[in-house]
Structure 1
């Protein structure tokens, strides 16, 4: 019986014929890749698989887009636009009516199974002709779906404002959703919807009647509204002046006259410049 010590197992003696295998080792290396080559190939295959996944994702997106076009293709697209201080009414092919307020842009798409309108800037009043195709308006990441109504949409600098004059609309932004009925309004901003407020029909449609209505509005808000109808910049020079309040009903086509009369209503001085800009200062 042979006795074997542990240290003999852990430290084997060199194989006497190891040098004789060198020619065979070289031959094997010529036919089989080295460890470094295997790692390089693995990295190359990984990059290739990532590229294939990315390509597959792009192809899938293109197929989805093509499928959506095939299912509900655009039959007609037209744009409508108003200049600063201009208002215009348009009659759509489906019998609906759109009135654009000052400095507004509307893109109308008649699809096979839907009516889609985009309001990238400005304000518009929609009188929708009932039909089997849904009527949807998009403004500042907000979706407004008609449920048989007359409604107003305004795309502001930070969101969208929706007011219903008749009927119902569904307003969606992000995960928030609300249904508005007649004489109700709300704002959509930063993926959220404000609380619903009630508004009189008179004030809701004032701009379409050529009127601006203010009820104890701070001058800063009044100037922001006037700016929409005035080509030159209107600036409040003193911050506390913007806190003065203004009430009343004014002609929407007489913005310059309203600016001039501010010095008679409030303790301010109005300065006009050659470039049509206006500066309002404390008097």
Structure 2
């Protein structure tokens, strides 16, 4: 295996991956499940190990400073990787920063066998021979806050990720395994003999040529919604629940409580397109959903406006457009500022160009 000191990648990206793995490995239950993947990631080379050591030591130093109330907090970000003398770390770091980041990023993406990733330009990376997958690190698919993005895998499957979501993908000659770490994904599965499995916490969703959503909430709940085909939802005891199209299952990430069937929200059918179809929803609730994607939050100027109810199909990922459409529909004023976009019954006195009057 080529050591990653020969082809350094962009340090910000590597730090982000290291931080993700550090968070996963500090969770005892997740660590048990993901240990082999973590060890494979470390095996990429010295840069991976150094990045993880730096994250771990930064955490340790920060914790020590907090406990001892000692000085020097400004130096936490420069913590030296474990097992490297301080004098050598600066010597090693400099040449590593000079080499090509793009080359290693492409190399690590190709290391997931059988997986091709479509980038923003629509150019698919050609996969390597799938027979080598078991020795390679998983492919990392992620979205930032406010972003919805779709990825095409080279078997033809599609993965759409909602805002602030993270999935690891590992394909080999006999399996297609994905791990949802956070957020929500829609999985459109290509038909073939290899099983397609999505892990979320200690729950496992096995697809059988289908379309389904899997989400992990902030309360560590797993929600599985089946749109087409069939899926089996399992836990570590191998007890299985089979879903039919239209069914939605809510369960804890760990097998501590009984799964519950619930009514699927119809407005979520087109979330990968940024569209929601609402029936009689309060504006305050609509704004809360839209602000998950907003750079500039959408607000109601008064409680009266918050309680207005509306029905219709809206693109909630475009805050300015949504505010204008709602204002036109409900005869409201739009008040803009650097910090927010507000809807009100009328423009405030002396608001000037910052307010568009009701139409």
Same fold (TM over 0.5): yes
Change (3 A) 1:255 1:278: closer
Q: Determine whether 1:130 maps to 2:191.
A: yes
1:48 aligns to what?
none
1:250 aligns to what?
314
Query: Which whole-Å CA distance do the structure 2 matches of 1:124 and 1:160 have between them?
Result: 12
Q: What SS does structure 1 have at the residue aligned with 2:261?
A: coil
Query: Which whole-Å CA distance do the structure 2 matches of 1:139 and 1:247 have between them?
Result: 33
Q: What SS does structure 2 have at the residue aligned with 1:221?
A: helix
1:223 aligns to what?
287
1:165 aligns to what?
227
Aligned partners of 2:161 and 2:185 also within 8 Å: yes
Query: Which whole-Å CA distance do the structure 2 matches of 1:140 and 1:244 have between them?
Result: 38
Change (3 A) 1:236 1:125: same
Stretches of structure 2 lacking an aligned partner (at least 5 in a row): 1-30, 41-132, 347-359
- In our comparison, the structure showing a higher alpha carbon Rg is 1
1:197 to 242, 263, 267: 263
Query: Which whole-Å CA distance do the structure 2 matches of 1:232 and 1:113 have between them?
Result: 46
Q: How many residues align?
A: 215
Structure 1, residues 167-191: CA drift from partner, whole Å, max 9, x if none? 1112346888532111222333474
1:103 aligns to what?
164
1:178 aligns to what?
241
Question: What's the RMSD between the two structures over aligned residues?
Answer: 3.8
Stretches of structure 1 lacking an aligned partner (at least 5 in a row): 1-60
Structure 1, residues 100-130: CA drift from partner, whole Å, max 9, x if none? 2333322212256432212233322211123
Aligned partners of 1:186 and 1:193 also within 8 Å: yes
How is 1:141-152 mapped onto 2 (pairs within 5 angstroms)?
142-152=203-213
- The Cα shift of 1:212 comes to 1.6
